[in-house]
Structure 1
Amino acid sequence: MKCSQTRAVQTHIITYPHLNFHKTLFGGQLMAWLDETAGISAVRMSRAAIVTASVDHLDFLAPLKDRHSVCIDAYVSGVGIRSMEIFAKVIGEDLLSGERYLAGTCFMTFVVPKGAALPDKIEPETKEEQFICSGYEARKLARQEKRQESVDLANNIDLEMPWN
């Protein structure tokens, strides 16, 4: 399957009620939109019910200002046995001047239920897709190491409430 076949694009105008105290897009709102858009890409790849496993890396590169638009462009950038990585770029636009800027990048992992099958590979076509997909194996290895750290952390968390 080609990256372009998994592509999902979502565009929003930034206005109240999505603003923070700085009159820029609230980061939590952007994260919700990223999850939604990336989830569509994951379902296009799997044609199965998916679950967000992790937000692996999210970089906020520039603030998205009031009355600008935000465009989220997501596609599958790597495939495992039951998991897939989705890359998303966040593009801001000053709607009055037409100036566009890269506001963020994100890698997320989604999983399919046991028994669901994923295509064996993803085919990048553009220069950007080739660059992003070429780093999949290294990012996958880093995710696996981070996952073990998270398991170790969870095994050492006290669930008792201090006020009890």
Structure 2
Amino acid sequence: MKCSETRAIQTHIITYPYLNFHKTLFGGQLMAWLDETAGIAAVRVSRSAIVTASVDHLDFLAPLKANHSVCIDAYVSGVGTRSMEIFAKVIGEDLFTGERYLAGTCFMTFVVPKGAELPEMIEPQTEEERFICQGYETRKAARQAKRQESIDLAKNVDLDIPWS
């Protein structure tokens, strides 16, 4: 399956109620849109129910200002047996000047239920897709190590709330 066959794109204008105190896009709103767009890409490769397993890496590179647009472009960048990695780029645009800028990048992991099938590989075609996909195995190994670290941490987290 080609990366392009999984691609999902979403565009929004940045206006109230999506603004923070700085009159830029509230980061939590961007995260929700990222999850939605990446989820569509994940379903396109799995054609089954999916679950967000993790936001592996999200970099906010530039603020998205009021009255600009934000375009989220996401595609599957690697597949395992039950999990897949989705890469998303966040492109801002000043709608009055037409200037575009990279506002962020994100890698997310989604999982499919037991029995769902994923293709054996994702085929990159563009220079960008080749660059992103070639790092999949390294990022996957880092994710697996981080997951074990999170499991170990959870064993030591106190669930008592001091003010209750």
Measure, in 2, the Cα distance between the counterparts of 1:65 and 1:8: 23
Query: How do residues 59-74 of structure 1 correspond to structure 2 at under 5 angstroms?
Result: 59-74=59-74
Query: How do residues 42-61 of structure 1 correspond to structure 2 at under 5 angstroms?
Result: 42-61=42-61
Query: How do residues 2-151 of structure 1 correspond to structure 2 at under 5 angstroms?
Result: 2-151=2-151
Alignment partner, residue 156 of structure 2: 156
Measure, in 2, the Cα distance between the counterparts of 1:21 and 1:163: 29
Measure, in 1, the Cα distance between the counterparts of 2:134 and 2:98: 32
Percentage of identical aligned residues: 84
Deviation at 1:159, TM superposition (A): 1.1
What is the CA deviation profile of residues 50-80 of structure 1, one whole-angstrom value per residue up to 9, with x for unaligned ones?
0000000000000000000000000000000
Deviation at 1:162, TM superposition (A): 1.9
Kindly report structure 1 stretches of 4+ aligned residues shifted beyond 3 Å. none
The residue type equivalent to 2:146 in the other structure is K
Measure, in 2, the Cα distance between the counterparts of 1:154 and 1:39: 26
How many residue pairs end up in the alignment? 164
Root mean square deviation, CA, Å:
0.6
Measure, in 2, the Cα distance between the counterparts of 1:25 and 1:159: 33
Measure, in 2, the Cα distance between the counterparts of 1:2 and 1:161: 48
Normalised TM-score (structure 2)? 0.99
The residue type equivalent to 2:111 in the other structure is V
Unaligned segments of structure 2, at least 5 residues: none
